Structure 1
């Protein structure tokens, strides 16, 4: 089953050679598939979940996508799922789904860096590669496929603004590669763990906890944290911290006040590689190897789970 959500892969420009001035989310997913040489033996169906620029992905879109994915995973007639997605927030959607789905079958997000109207679009090959992974023997978990590389949902990050090979799995490396329709796997498929929450029982999006991200930097002050505390309605704060989760002293004082006011605070590192290691004297918990945007999702789900856990 191929689920469309929009993105550059579904984008169109007024001028065919324009790979920058296009509008994302213009082409229906069924139309995208019409231009793809489908690997032999695959029978597919397509659904349009939404059709937008992924920078505008919302909690409501995530909720609908997660629910539909779990329905399809529970359907014995479905071998795997492919999701067409914009590159800007693909890593966030992938991580979100990875935390919610019992993905004993593959759920493969794919994308493009050039619009469908480009003279040489990269979307068709990425989509073909994603379909190949979605029906591969033993494949499982939430994955991302771009430029012939297979990434796990937890590790995948967009690391370049315009190159076709825009994603990386950092120090851990990718699962493997799709080469001329064949998969060369270099490490194990993701382990399938019990989901943190049931995708089918997510509350309405307007009831999700509010978790905001702020950045620690030279010259940081208390203004943003103070404003969040005073405004109310904020349930959590993720700090994009320097180095090994270090936070500017002025910001640290403000965060301590936020914690005292009942706001959950988690530190993630701004660094592209590495993980935050505990010093044993931490004033707030850290997100280990999660990027700030993924730490935000993790904290949001933790707070959501706490709210709906039976007393």
Structure 2
């Protein structure tokens, strides 16, 4: 009697959505690196073991060129691929300049357990020591791994895995450019495979951005000795629906900005209070133009959310008509 044969489990399938960045860049005659390579070209030089990988070309831009419209296209493309039953996970190849914003937006709206992983490179594709192929292989491994399910949007770079929220590019040229504020990576990719050592706590997903997101303007105004309210007023005059103050220290300003906050909030402009400091939350502590007075005047503390992720959160909420107040911000900051 012939022995029974157990069916092999289906192979993991990962879709790589290419958007450009250094990982897709090559040097032009003048020496400047420009994103040119397609998904097929990125995938052609790397091996992915037992994972089935397919590529999708969406954009081919340095991430310093991305606007809200392009971020919305990426969010829609990720949702389309995640919705396919046969897809295990999605990788987005992306420039490092604004990866922290795209990753955070994807995490805010991701409504599936399937992993979404962003990666890129610090050295262009035509450089002999380019880190792109290795980073891409590792990102595919993360997206295919059961360990990464339920973790939301992640950044995989140089063997480290980061949760989207709180992660920033902290070094312009280092091989390991990302760091999570007040924390560390939640996992690693090594010889033994993908290992997740901490799982991010994620609030309920928000609605994906619609077309109104493209033109929802939220500006950032930094505080410094002698700063006045001229830039904040100019931002509102230019159409900003919200302004995020990059305050000093734990979230402080001065009397000129305090007066502006009162005027702006009364006129319907949302004012977020963040900090220009690299790590640590906003903690309203001081009066006389400090954070306590700013919050009393109507500014909304953005807590421990990094400055530019705070800006993006306000833009998404405002574009979807969600009332922006302490209650709606609380799960995210």
| TM-score w.r.t. length of structure 1 | 0.90
Aligned residue for 1:288?
Answer: 303
CA contact (8 A) 2:22 2:122 kept: yes
Q: Aligned runs of 1:255-266 on 2, under 5 Å?
A: 255-266=261-272
Looking at structure 2, the residues matched to 55 and 210 of structure 1 have their Cα atoms a distance apart, in angstroms, of 17
Q: Which residue of 1 aligns with 2:5?
A: none
What SS class does the counterpart of residue 58 from structure 2 fall into? strand
Partner of 2:12: none
Distance 2:170 2:112 in 1: 26
Question: Are residues 1:54 and 2:63 paired?
Answer: yes
Q: Which runs of 5+ in 2 are unaligned?
A: 1-14, 286-291, 325-333
1:89-115 residue CA offsets vs partner (Å, 9 max, x unmatched): 000100111111213110000010000
Counterpart Cα distance in 2 of 1:124 and 1:184: 20
Residue aligned with 1:44, SS: strand
2-structure distance, mates of 1:295, 1:219:
24
Structure 1 residue 150 corresponds to structure 2 residue 161? yes
2:211 paired with 1:203: yes
Q: Does 1:34 align with 2:44?
A: yes
- Worse-superposed segment, 97-106 or 141-150: 97-106
Is contact 1:102–1:193 with CA below 8 Å preserved after alignment?
no
Q: 1:164 aligns with which of 160, 171, 175?
A: 175
Change (3 A) 1:69 1:216: same
How far apart, CA to CA, are the structure 2 residues paired with 1:212 and 1:66? 22
1:73-152 aligned within 5 A? 73-140=82-149, 141-152=152-163
- Where does structure 1 differ by over 6 angstroms across 4 or more consecutive aligned residues? none
State the distance in 1 between where 2:42 and 2:96 align: 16
RMSD of aligned alpha carbons? 2.0
* Pairing of 1:231-270 with structure 2 (within 5 A): 231-270=237-276
C-alpha deviations, 1:34-68, integer Å up to 9, x for none? 11121x21111111110001000111111111111
Q: Supply the distance in 2 between the matched residues of 1:154 and 1:248 (Cα, whole angstroms).
A: 29
Taking structure 1 as reference, are residues 181 and 23 closer, same or farther at Cα in structure 2, changes over 3 Å only? farther
Identify unmatched segments of 5+ residues in structure 1. none
Q: Report how many residues are paired.
A: 299
Give the secondary structure class of the aligned counterpart of 1:183.
strand
User: How many Å separate the matches in 1 of 2:217 and 2:264?
Assistant: 14
Q: d(CA) in 1 for partners of 2:213 and 2:35?
A: 22
| CA deviation map 1:82-140 (0-9, x unaligned) | 00000000001001111112131100000100000001100000001101100111313
| SS at 2:146 equivalent | coil
Greater Cα offset, 24-33 or 179-188:
179-188
Report if the CA contact (8 A) 2:213-2:320 is conserved: no
Matched residue, 1:5: 19
Quote the offset at 1:226 in angstroms.
2.4
Q: CA deviation at 1:193?
A: 4.0
1:221 — aligned with what? 228
Cross-structure match for 2:189: 178
